[in-house]
Chains A and B, each alone.
Chain A
Amino acid sequence: MKQLLVFIRKEFYHVFRDPRTLLIMFGLPVVQIILFGFALTSEVKNADILILDHSNDVQTIQITSKIKASSYFIVHGEAKDNPAIENYFKRGTVKCVLVFPPHFSSDLFHNGSARIQIIADGSDPNTAKTIINYLTAIISDYQRENFPSATLPYQITTEPRMLYNEDDNGSLNYIPGVMALILMLVCTALTSVSIVKEKELGTMEVLLVSPFKPVMVLIAKAVPYFLLSMVNFTLILLLSDFLLHIEIRGNLLLLFSESALFILTCLSFGLLISNTTNAQQTALLISMMGMMLPTIIFTGFLFPLENMPRIFQVIANIVPSKWYFIIVKAVMLKGLGFRYVWKETLVLIGMTGLLLAIALKNFKIRLQ
């Protein structure tokens, strides 16, 4: 037992000695939380649009000023002719052009209806769709206020309720995803170099000829990264609570135990990589470059999994972060209890057992 503690201390020295390891371990989570909390948003704000007003009458001016007043758009002057639109799009200075045809007002009153044309830059289709929706909503709003007779006499209206997220806090969806992503990548990458480093430097031989049991070497490697990852997780939790004001609804004990389980899964995976490779470079190429995009995609926090082709949905099942993401959403954001996540927990336990078994099997205590 005392031997083990000495070895664990040695591993801690390794981690704290290198500022770059600390940068990955603690710098990355902080930066990611800040970026996802404050910088990245899937909503559209400050979209640059152009208004091409061929009639310039009371109604078009009123609609224009209504659009200008909304925080979604920045109106970039008013173009006078059609060919100019193409130039604006090609330079990428505007995302959308709103065109009022000539005689807008007289059409509206004498013919009963007038046309408005919206031309969007479809090279960014999601932004284009959102802008079209926003503009349509602003115009229908104007129409309802000023021409109530043009609306339908019988109407079903909807009363939307945003469950779990009344303030429509956009970072809410990202935070469990970032947690899963960071723990998965950082924990796996750091563990994956731990044993292969000893192999590369030749110190593995020293460890193996010592009276210290070989399995204890693995445990001594895993413990520091486990503890550091738990600290890391606590840090992310504190940041999202105090900086992003995300209410943690669920049981903290459950959340911590589930996270400990997930960290164990990642550690086992890291140890497996470390035991099966012979160079740190290979280990890192697998755990960082190879894993980065699959983890980002198959966790399901940026792109909904249900939309993917069947085969990808199947592949996503073997990515541990997918299951952890589901658990964190349920426990942390919805405040649900264990009986809602026992299946996912079981999957993670199974994965950990399997990965650990293969890692141990590949742990060679003899030199070739």
Chain B
Amino acid sequence: MKKLGFLLQKEFRQIFRDKTILAMMIAVPTIQLIIIPQAMNFDIKNINISIVDQDHSTYSQKLISKIGSSGYFRMISADLSYQQALQHIENGTSDLVLEIPPGFERNLVREGSQKIGIAVDAINGSKASIGGAYLNSVIADFNANLEINQVTVPTNPAPAGFMDITYSNWYNPLAEYKYYIVPGVLVLLLTLIGGFMSALNIVREKEVGTIEQINVTPIMKWEFILGKLIPFWIIGMIVFTVGLTVCWAVYGIVSVGSLPMLYAMAGIYLIALLGFGLLISTYSNSQVQAMFIAFFFILIFILMSGLFTSVESMPAWARFISNLTPVTHFIKIVRMIMLKGSGLSDIKTELGYILAFGIILNGWAIWNYKKTS
């Protein structure tokens, strides 16, 4: 135990000696947490629209001004033909084209229905579908307020079978994206810092040659690994605390669930994550090699973790891989505790996964660290 104390003293001295690295570990995540979530915004507002009105009637004018005043669309151009409007899509200034055919008003009044064409630039899938959906809801609203509908509906006795759908979003009544993304980015930054720093650590001793000196001492393998793990664990917890403060100060997000439990989970997750970093470190011979491997895995972890896209929508094999990455479970836990106030019994499956990762990864790292070459 006393040996461990000396090891810790050595590690802390090494960390505090390099002030730039220390500053980077704290400052970089803080700055990124302040900036990045503001750039990740799925609330699409300004959809650029080109309009081809071949009818020039009262109704077509009303429809166009209704679209203009909805607040979602920005009118880029009024074109004479579809071909002309297509030019705007091709050079990227417009996202969708609304085409009102000749005879629009006449057909609507006489036949009761009229089709209008919407052409969307479907390369940008999410923008296209959201823009199309907005336009449809504007048109549905326009339909309901059409004067001819207003006149005819009240004369009928109330028709049977009207379904009134109401909806509500629990935990996030305004459905704001920041509640979803900020805790996710916090986990991401903690993972980047913890993963890279611990991956570089043991391998640095190898590169500099000091590992030989440690190997000839009576320090046990587990003491050595623990001596590496504890300082980074403490730094990780500091980063996590700073991150939570940013969440509160900048975004006004305060954990709904119990704070001690959130910290306990972060502590366990950090053990698993640092174990992963140390494992990479024991398998590499130079810092560059360690960074390459860490980069390869962390990029996959980020994409598979459900940070940007939901894990449930993935095919079965991808969900399986997703379950094998510790980040997935910790993001889920943080979101559940912070946003919904889930209790220990709600998160026991995820907790089980993280505990298992912690034991396996650290055990593997200790086993793979050889004191003799």
Is B309 in the interface zone, CB < 8 Å from A?
yes
Shortest Cβ distance from B125 into A: residue: A173
Shortest Cβ distance from B59 into A: residue: A156
Q: Which of B88-96, B229-237, B268-276, B356-364 touches A? A: B88-96
Is B308 in the interface zone, CB < 8 Å from A?
yes
Residues B146 and A303 in contact, CB atoms below 8 Å apart: no
Measured between C-beta atoms, what is the minimum distance from A274 to chain B in Å? 12
Residues A304 and B135 in contact, CB atoms below 8 Å apart: no
Residues B143 and A334 in contact, CB atoms below 8 Å apart: no
Bitwise, A274-315 to B at CB < 8 A (1) or not (0) is 000000110011001110110001100011101111001000
Bitwise, B294-307 to A at CB < 8 A (1) or not (0) is 01100110011000
Residues B120 and A280 in contact, CB atoms below 8 Å apart: no
CA distance A304 to B117 in the complex (A): 25
Do A163 and B176 form a contact, CB below 8 Å, given A123-B171, A123-B335?
no
Question: How many interface residues does A have (CB within 8 Å)?
Answer: 107
Q: Which of B147-155, B217-225, B244-252 touches A? A: B147-155
Is B161 in the interface zone, CB < 8 Å from A?
yes
Residues A173 and B166 in contact, CB atoms below 8 Å apart: no
Is A69 in the interface zone, CB < 8 Å from B?
no
- Residue of A18, A116, A293 near B164 (CB, 8 A) is A116
Residues B167 and A154 in contact, CB atoms below 8 Å apart: no
- Residue of B28, B158, B180 near A126 (CB, 8 A) is B180
How many A-B contacts if CB must be within 8 Å?
320
Measured between C-beta atoms, what is the minimum distance from B278 to chain A in Å? 17
Is A353 in the interface zone, CB < 8 Å from B?
no
Measured between C-beta atoms, what is the minimum distance from B360 to chain A in Å? 22
Q: Which of B8-16, B38-46, B365-373 touches A? A: B38-46
Residues A45 and B169 in contact, CB atoms below 8 Å apart: no
Residues B342 and A156 in contact, CB atoms below 8 Å apart: no
Q: Which of A2-10, A21-29, A204-212, A256-264 touches B? A: A21-29
Residues A42 and B346 in contact, CB atoms below 8 Å apart: no
Residues A35 and B318 in contact, CB atoms below 8 Å apart: yes
Residues B143 and A152 in contact, CB atoms below 8 Å apart: yes
CA distance A166 to B89 in the complex (A): 16
Do A330 and B116 form a contact, CB below 8 Å, given A92-B332, A123-B172?
no
Residues A92 and B38 in contact, CB atoms below 8 Å apart: no
In B263-322, which residues have CB < 8 Å from any A CB?
A: 284, 287-289, 291-293, 295-296, 299-300, 303-304, 308-310, 312-315, 318, 321
CA distance A83 to B63 in the complex (A): 45
Residues B310 and A44 in contact, CB atoms below 8 Å apart: yes
Shortest Cβ distance from A113 into B: residue: B162
Residues of A within 8 A of B180 (CB): 123-126
Residues B120 and A150 in contact, CB atoms below 8 Å apart: no
Residues B163 and A108 in contact, CB atoms below 8 Å apart: yes
CA distance A46 to B293 in the complex (A): 33
Measured between C-beta atoms, what is the minimum distance from A251 to chain B in Å? 15
Do A157 and B115 form a contact, CB below 8 Å, given A28-B296, A90-B341, A113-B163?
yes
Residues B292 and A114 in contact, CB atoms below 8 Å apart: no
Residues of A within 8 A of B121 (CB): 163-164
Bitwise, B158-185 to A at CB < 8 A (1) or not (0) is 1111111111111111011101100000
Residues A108 and B160 in contact, CB atoms below 8 Å apart: yes
Most buried by B among A89, A129, A143, A163: A163
Is A340 in the interface zone, CB < 8 Å from B?
yes
Most buried by B among A114, A123, A164, A333: A123
Residues B125 and A170 in contact, CB atoms below 8 Å apart: yes
Residues A139 and B39 in contact, CB atoms below 8 Å apart: no
Measured between C-beta atoms, what is the minimum distance from B206 to chain A in Å? 13
Is A62 in the interface zone, CB < 8 Å from B?
no
Do A42 and B118 form a contact, CB below 8 Å, given A89-B171, A128-B169?
no
Question: How many interface residues does B have (CB within 8 Å)?
Answer: 107
Is B23 in the interface zone, CB < 8 Å from A?
no
Shortest Cβ distance from A40 into B: residue: B309
Residues of B within 8 A of A46 (CB): 312-313
Is A112 in the interface zone, CB < 8 Å from B?
yes
- Residue of A32, A123, A126, A159 near B116 (CB, 8 A) is A159
Measured between C-beta atoms, what is the minimum distance from A156 to chain B in Å? 6
Residues A293 and B46 in contact, CB atoms below 8 Å apart: no
Residues of A within 8 A of B32 (CB): 293
Do A340 and B91 form a contact, CB below 8 Å, given A41-B309, A154-B112, A164-B122?
yes
Is A146 in the interface zone, CB < 8 Å from B?
yes
Residues A158 and B139 in contact, CB atoms below 8 Å apart: yes
Measured between C-beta atoms, what is the minimum distance from B52 to chain A in Å? 13
Do A297 and B299 form a contact, CB below 8 Å, given A122-B172, A123-B179?
no
- Residue of B127, B162, B171, B289 near A112 (CB, 8 A) is B162
Residues of A within 8 A of B142 (CB): 156
Residues A119 and B118 in contact, CB atoms below 8 Å apart: no
- Residue of B44, B168, B287, B346 near A92 (CB, 8 A) is B346
Residues B169 and A125 in contact, CB atoms below 8 Å apart: yes
In B78-109, which residues have CB < 8 Å from any A CB?
A: 89-92, 108-109
In the complex, the 7 A-B pairs of residues with the closest C-beta atoms, listed nearest first: A147-B161, A122-B169, A122-B172, A39-B318, A165-B122, A112-B158, A162-B122
Q: List 28 A-B contacts (CB under 8 A).
A: A24-B296, A27-B296, A38-B318, A41-B309, A42-B125, A90-B341, A90-B346, A91-B346, A109-B160, A112-B161, A114-B164, A121-B170, A122-B169, A122-B179, A150-B161, A154-B109, A154-B152, A155-B113, A156-B108, A162-B122, A163-B121, A173-B126, A302-B40, A303-B42, A304-B126, A312-B39, A336-B90, A340-B90
Q: A38-B315, A120-B170 are in contact. List 13 more A-B contacts (CB 8 A).
A: A40-B309, A89-B340, A90-B346, A112-B160, A113-B161, A116-B163, A118-B165, A147-B162, A149-B160, A163-B120, A280-B288, A312-B35, A333-B123
Footprint of B on A, CB under 8 Å?
Answer: 18, 20-21, 23-24, 27-28, 31-32, 35-36, 38-48, 87, 89-92, 95, 108-109, 112-129, 132-133, 135-136, 139-140, 143, 146-147, 149-150, 152-166, 168, 170, 172-173, 189, 193, 197, 280-281, 284-285, 288-290, 292-293, 297-298, 302-304, 306-309, 312, 326, 329-330, 333-334, 336, 340
